[in-house]
Amino acid sequence: MQNTVRNDKSASISLRSGVLGMLVLSCSLGLAGCTTEDHRQSSDELREKTAETTAEVKRDAKSMAEGVKEGWNRDKERVDLNNASREELVGAGLTRAQSDRVIEHRPYASAHELLTKHVLSEDEYREIEPHVRAGKPADE
């Protein structure tokens, strides 16, 4: 009976050793695929992609800032319908008669009121709309 117990213990130990050996072997093979060179390459690729994305975001932000600046400057260059002299309105593209009508129907809350107050026709308004504003520019 002692031989049977020893054989069972030996078999159990042998089985455990075999399982443990296979576990170690499979872990070793799994880790072999994760070499440091692959990791370095992945890190280098990640750094490169991050740099490209950062440069793209920087370009987009610069373009956006330039657009905002251009919009502010454009608004400043527009003639204010509520304060402009007859000559300034003529310089914006209005005729003398149109300028007189604009002055006569002041004040304006928006340039679009040139249409709603029947000061200008739609065609006349479309021609001068990029050159006029009503009220203060956006940054004042």
Which domain does 111 fall in, by range? Answer: 80-133
Under 8 Å between Cβ of 79 and 131: yes
Q: What is the torsion angle, in degrees rounded to the nearest 10, for the CA atoms of residue 47, residue 52, residue 58 and residue 61?
A: -120
Q: Evaluate whether residue 113 is within a structural domain.
A: yes
Under 8 Å between Cβ of 98 and 124: yes
Q: For residues 94-108, give the mean pLDDT.
A: 96
Is the pLDDT confidence value at 109 over 80?
Answer: yes
Q: Evaluate whether residue 8 is within a structural domain.
A: no
Query: What sections of the chain are H helices per DSSP?
Result: 2-32, 36-77, 86-91, 96-104, 113-116, 122-128
The structure tokens listed for 55 are 């440069």
Q: Evaluate whether residue 115 is within a structural domain.
A: yes
Report field, pTM of the whole predicted structure over 0.75: no
Under 8 Å between Cβ of 77 and 63: no
Q: Evaluate whether residue 3 is within a structural domain.
A: no
pLDDT-derived band at 107 (thresholds 50, 70, 90) equals: very high
**Would the CA dihedral through 52, 55, 61, 62 be positive or negative?**
negative
**Residue 120 belongs to domain with CATH number:** 1.10.150.320
Is the pLDDT confidence value at 139 over 90?
Answer: no
Is the pLDDT confidence value at 5 over 50?
Answer: no
First CA to last CA distance, the chain: 103
Please state whether the peptide bond connecting residue 107 to the residue before it is cis, i.e. omega within 30 degrees of 0.
yes
If one counts the domains in the chain, the total is 1
pLDDT tens figures, 42-53: 888 899 999 899
Q: Evaluate whether residue 97 is within a structural domain.
A: yes
Q: For residues 121-128, give the mean pLDDT.
A: 95
Phi (first) and psi of residue 110, to 5 degrees: -150, 160
Q: Evaluate whether residue 108 is within a structural domain.
A: yes
Q: Evaluate whether residue 38 is within a structural domain.
A: no
Q: Evaluate whether residue 105 is within a structural domain.
A: yes
